[in-house]
Chain A
């Protein structure tokens, strides 16, 4: 009997005992913990050491608690630390997930995944926490997960911008506000920073839109969805309303409302590769990595040369984006091909998602994170834009405004919309405040959130599973006479990704992969890389024959290295690759 079917039998038994209890209690079910009386659906872990409801958005403390509980429950799989502090002093938590007792965690090929660099893009935090939760619980149960944690290490950072996240969750905001960090910026260049933000005028805890009844207005309510939608009046027809923008006052008396709100920069334009200043790339800030959050991430990545894969989560649009961020930006064709292959798999894992090139298919960005990860560090990285309204009706079509209103009305029973209500305003007089809630549009509703984060995780795990996995294959020893031997070592890469991407090789980002041979009574006379194994061509190294530097070990390929040695006894072959790991293999020269 397999372990899975054993669990199922145990669960069936417990369900049976529940029904027995029910019979005895005379018409009223007993208030047990329903989790004890359930058969888990496929996909979710069967035993939950850490119970988390994945249909809500957690704040910094909440996501931190999930990581802390996971770390406590799975000490052999996790390490928990902070990459640094945010502007307001919140920790950028990282849960490092790997089988800590299998191999050296710091030498395993690594995936760096983070989310929520944009404060309002909250599900990006949940997908990271879910990935940590899923990996921990499924280790030892699902072979693919076990192999992932035995072979690789995951650096999971749910919130790069916890200030923006907490502000979005706890304070009045719109769907798009609180994208940046908490450092004040003088957006309107009047000498004062952040002095004219939005206000919750009617005290309902939301920032919504303001409209005013106006004989010269050019807007009117939609005939079919009057509570939910405003439409333009026809050119020759009078309207009823003027739209006044976000709820708020002109705090600084400059004749404009809400023109200098909290923050006002974009940390995903603050990375140092292809960085351009604020006047050219909005949000870039004063210089690359000027913000403590981006600097902490960059320092971490620079300090972990084993990171081979990168994943940055955002919302929204249903896109798997890859670089370059700008036309003519860094992208080697061999790497482009790999990114395309991996993302094509992602399009199957993530219905209605599209694999796109940032500058060409979306818009040009300068100083974004995935460009830096790839171009400056040679890491194959994606930006995933989580959630698409194409998922509302599951037909792959972008819904119309009416379709969305219909969804809010009939599926969400009105949740997602703030009904218009009158409110006095010091400048406009009596306005009406209402419109979409901040959660609508860019984050999935509760019942679709779990699907969204699971599928995105599945894509990241597929991506992680393409990272290099090295093996020392055959070690062939052929005598040449006079205690001299020809040793051929085969080093195999069993996965799709090369140890060093073309960008890495081209710009010498990682050190070379080195295959070396050492033995107490063995002297290496000459060595080199085998350039043709059939014709036995060898490119000899210039110096230090005991080590053969290699540019890269290609995906699904093997590299052969030749050592001409003299001596006797045992020797050790070592493969040292920053992104492929550290391997040793013992062998010996034939006894005389």
Chain B
């Protein structure tokens, strides 16, 4: 269990509830406990050590020997790769605990773990996770690699400061005629950009909370924070962008993860928690340019699998319509599809937009709408300009209502579900702005990217249900019909049918393009000289799931035995072995 006392001491007020976010230390303990409790099914090892000497763990779940598990179809779950993701690590660990407990009580789960391997990296960036428990709490997406963000020759010289002493770095707004912002006419806690075309004049500056340590008239422009691991992978990597590190796969943690991927080619499905999301909607697809150009969208031949997974996901979390997918450059999940050819899914388990979409009225069976939450009704406002014509006034009002609507709706959601998430603006004396009105407030760190703790357990259950469903949708090869015909004394024609009883194909189309998913091979255990037609090793084309088949046919000359062994090896679909009985007699076999 979590170290409740520690967490209660450190965690902020917005995260009260039955479940709590865990610190890196409590994560260490949780995983150690899990490995102790379930020694037959769980192995935990260190994947990497962080810059600040914390450990990123690799958890392996599965029954059977150390030689069997790496050959089985595998699912990989990666969380805490995006520094501000707390919900991912919580979810991953909760699922591992539940799944391994089920392995003892639930026969289908036990059966699955006999032929499937689960890998999980619950938190790749424990240093960033620690910021949630630090004082003051500050949200960073990366590690603490030193970086001269403002290129002034000094490194990390202007971090934020907790000016109002609430234990968190939030925001500050400064009354300033040069500011770009005005108060949102519909919500005084929020600011919107002044529109000079409407004759609006800025009145506020919006800055992160802190002082201008280096007196360069920029506030908190060069605090700690280096590489975001989920911007550090080679597909669509943006050199020189903030947070990308020195080069792709440039940190020990990302390199350890990449090396793990290379040394575990049995991984067929990957799910990454982070800012990107290709399950709440449908990602873009395009015709593959083959090997002549880098890919820019999902290969249209693979789209069906992404669509099906998206539908399944939205059903599990109760989202009844598609939302916009979110993509980011240099993510681990994109690397796993575009360069490694695996079905790679990305999930932001929670954000306010998703929370609002889930809270929208749903049609019930009797056709009536039920309301979990009323959507914010646009406030009846009036045009600020009395000279407007009537029609113009109407559209101007509409424009005015649209402006900032999303952030108002987000705030309304927080007011209803987690009012602590937004710190009310509080006037302070600021040394950089003597005699000026300065207010500190706004969203607490991590509050906009992670659910209130009260929702955590429910989200983790849904996400866990989905992960278990994913583990059931790997490719899985087996042996179908095996036939043997006697052609003449010692000469046989054999035919082996290979079946994919799993859901995914043995290789996605893009897995074949990248050549990172090797062809399924059938190896017949005979000397090369025994083959009159065919060969000892035959490579098969990709075999679709749900019962797809492929055949191998050989003519062999064997005098000295009555059986021939063969093996089927699939990189993603596992292995199978079989025996062909060589029938010595009669023409019935012909």
B339 at interface, CB cutoff 8 A: yes
For the complex, is B247 an interface residue (Cβ under 8 Å from A)? yes
Contact partners of B153 in chain A: CB under 8 A:
511-512, 514, 547, 549, 576
Residue A298 contacts which of B239, B247, B537 (CB distance < 8 angstroms)? B247
Whether B294 lies near A189 (C-beta < 8 A) is: no
Contact segment of B429-437, B441-449, B514-522: B514-522
- With A275-B234, A280-B291, A376-B247 in contact, do A191 and B262 touch (Cβ < 8 Å)? no
B240:A507 contact, CB within 8 angstroms: yes
User: For the complex, what is the distance from the CA of A488 to the CA of B506, rounded to whole Å?
Assistant: 72
B151 contacts the other chain (Cβ, under 8 Å)? Answer: yes
In the complex, are the beta carbons of B234 and A277 less than 8 A apart? yes
Q: Tell me the smallest distance from the CB of B379 to a CB of chain A, in Å.
A: 42
Is B38 part of the contact surface with A, judged by Cβ < 8 Å? no
A204 within 8 A of B: no
Per the CB 8 Å criterion, the residue count for chain B at the interface is 40
Contact-residue size bin, chain A (C-beta under 8 Å from the other chain): 35 or more
A276 at the interface (CB under 8 A from B): yes
Q: How far does the alpha carbon of A502 sit from the alpha carbon of B54 in the complex, in Å?
A: 39
Knowing A255-B535, A279-B291, A279-B515 touch, does A286 contact B262 (C-beta < 8 A)?
yes
Inside 8 A of B250's CB, which chain A residues have their CB? 272, 289
Option from B214, B246, B248 in Cβ contact (under 8 Å) with A275: B248
The residues in B between 511 and 561 inclusive whose CB is less than 8 angstroms from any CB of A are 513-516, 518-519, 521, 528, 535-537, 539
In Å, the complex CA distance between A511 and B152 comes to 7
> A537 near B: Cβ within 8 Å?
no
Cβ of A508 under 8 Å from chain B: yes
Residues of chain B within 8 A of A191, CB atoms compared: 518, 521, 569
Nearest CB of A to B477, in Å: 14
B residues in contact with A547, CB < 8 Å: 153
B216–A543 contact, CB under 8 A?
yes
Question: Closest residue to B153 on the A side, CB-wise?
Answer: A511
- Asked if B152 and A549 make an inter-chain contact with CB atoms under 8 angstroms apart, the answer reads yes
Flag whether A237 is at the interface (Cβ < 8 A): no
CB <8 Å contact, A543 and B215: yes
Which listed residue, B148, B261, B536, B539, touches A511 by the CB 8 Å rule?
A: B148
Chain A positions 373-394 with a Cβ under 8 Å from a chain B Cβ: 375-376
Convert A554-592 into 0s and 1s, putting 1 for each residue whose CB lies closer than 8 angstroms to a CB of B: 000000000000000000000010000000000000000
B481 touches A (CB below 8 Å): no
| C-alpha spacing A290/B214, complex, angstroms | 39
CB of B217 within 8 Å of the partner chain = yes
Q: Determine if B258 is an interface residue (Cβ-Cβ < 8 Å).
A: yes
Q: Hey, what's the 0/1 contact readout for B324-344 against A, CB within 8 Å counting as 1?
A: 000000000001000100000
Which residues of the partner chain B approach A290 to less than 8 Å between Cβ atoms? 249, 258-259, 262
Q: With an 8 A cutoff between CB atoms, is A481 at the interface? A: no
Are B152 and A512 neighbours in the complex by a CB distance under 8 Å? yes
Find residues 263-297 in chain B having any chain A CB closer than 8 Å to their own CB. 291, 293-294
In the complex, chain B residues whose CB is within 8 Å of the CB of A289: 247, 249-250
- Whether A361 sits at the interface, judged by CB under 8 Å, is no
A512 touches B514 (CB 8 A): no
A345 to B575, alpha carbons, bound, how many Å? 61
Taking chain A's interface residues, is the majority helix, strand, or loop, or is none over half, making it mixed? loop
CA distance A20 to B518 in the complex (A): 77
A302 at the interface (CB under 8 A from B): yes
Interface residue? A24 (CB, 8 A): no
A287 touching B247, Cβ below 8 Å: no
Which residues in B have their C-beta under 8 angstroms from that of A275? 234, 248
Check A346 for interface membership: any CB of B closer than 8 A: no
Contacts of B239 in A (CB 8 A): 273, 375-376, 507
Q: Given A191-B518, A279-B515, are A512 and B151 also a contact pair (CB < 8 Å)?
A: yes
Structural contact, A544 and B216, CB atoms closer than 8 A: yes
Min distance, Cβ A304 to any Cβ of chain B, angstroms: 14
Chain A residue numbers with a CB within 8 Å of B536 are 253-254
The answer on a CB contact under 8 Å between B247 and A272 is yes
Bound Cα distance A253, B535 (Å) = 9
A253 touches B262 (CB 8 A): no
Q: How far is the CB of B76 from chain A (nearest CB, A)?
A: 16
Question: A515: shortest Cβ distance to chain B, in Å?
Answer: 12
- Report B-chain residues with C-beta under 8 Å of the C-beta of A376: 239, 247
Which residues on B sit within 8 Å (CB–CB) of A276?
Answer: 294
Mark interface residues in A255-299 (1 if CB within 8 Å of B CB, else 0).
100000000000000001101111110000011111000000010
A542 interface hit (Cβ, 8 Å): yes
Report whether B151 and A279 are in contact in the complex, using a CB–CB cutoff of 8 Å.
no
Q: For A189, list chain B residues within 8 Å (CB).
A: 515, 518-519, 539
Q: Mark A477-510, 1 if CB is under 8 A from B, else 0.
A: 0000000000000000000000000000001110
| A190 on the B face (CB < 8 A) | yes
- B487-527 vs A: 1/0 string, CB under 8 Å? 00000000000000000000000000111101101000000
Q: Which residues of B contact A272 (CB under 8 A)?
A: 234, 247-250
User: Once the chains are docked, how many angstroms separate the CA of A273 from the CA of B248?
Assistant: 9
Distance, CA A279 to CA B214, complexed state (A): 48
Query: Complex: how many Å from CA A275 to CA B335?
Result: 12
Measured between alpha carbons, how far is A514 from B261 in the docked complex, in Å? Answer: 44
Residues on the B chain within 8 Å of A543, using CB: 214-217
The CA-CA distance from A1 to B339 in the complex, in Å, is 69
Residue pair B234, A302 in contact (C-beta under 8 Å):
no
| A288 and B248 contacting across the interface, CB-CB below 8 Å | yes
**Closest CB in chain B relative to A516 CB, distance in Å:** 10
Chain A residues within 8 Å of B539, by CB? 189-190
Inter-chain contact A278/B515, CB cutoff 8 Å: yes
The complex places the Cα of A277 from the Cα of B236 at a distance, in Å, of 12
Which of A224-269 touch B at CB < 8 Å? 253-255
- From the candidates B152, B515, B537, name the one contacting A254 in the complex (CB within 8 A): B537
Whole-angstrom distance between the alpha carbons of A179 and B539 in the complex?
Answer: 29
Q: With the chains together, A272 CA to B152 CA distance in Å?
A: 26
A279 CA to B515 CA, complexed, in Å = 6
Q: With a CB–CB cut-off of 8 A, which chain B residues contact A190?
A: 518, 521, 537, 539
The closest CB in chain B to the CB of A285 belongs to B262
Q: Which residues of A contact B255 (CB under 8 A)?
A: 287
B294 and A280 within 8 A (CB): yes
> Complex: how many Å from CA A186 to CA B515?
11
| Nearest B residue to A507, CB-CB | B240
Complex-state Cα separation, A302 to B259, whole angstroms? 22
Say how far A199's CB is from chain B's closest CB, in angstroms: 17
- State A375–B214 Cα separation when bound (angstroms): 31
Would you give the 0/1 interface string for A184-221, flagging 1 where the beta carbon is closer than 8 Å to chain B?
00100111000000000000000000000000000000
Q: Which residues of A contact B258 (CB under 8 A)?
A: 286-287, 290
A273, A277, A542, A544: the one within 8 Å of B514 (CB): A277
Nearest-neighbour CB distance to chain B for A246, whole angstroms, equals: 21
Q: Which residues of B contact A254 (CB under 8 A)?
A: 535-537
Instruction: Offer 20 A-B interface pairs, CB within 8 angstroms, sorted by A.
Output: A186-B518, A272-B250, A273-B239, A273-B247, A278-B516, A280-B291, A280-B294, A287-B248, A287-B249, A287-B258, A287-B335, A289-B250, A290-B258, A376-B239, A508-B240, A511-B153, A512-B153, A542-B216, A543-B215, A549-B153
Closest 7 CB pairs of A and B: A272-B247, A253-B528, A277-B339, A511-B153, A508-B151, A189-B518, A507-B240
Query: 7 more A-B contacts (CB under 8 A) besides A190-B518, A272-B250, A289-B249?
Result: A253-B536, A254-B536, A277-B514, A277-B516, A287-B234, A287-B262, A514-B153
Binding site for B on A (CB under 8 A): 186, 189-191, 253-255, 272-273, 275-280, 286-290, 298, 302, 375-376, 507-509, 511-512, 514, 542-544, 547, 549, 576
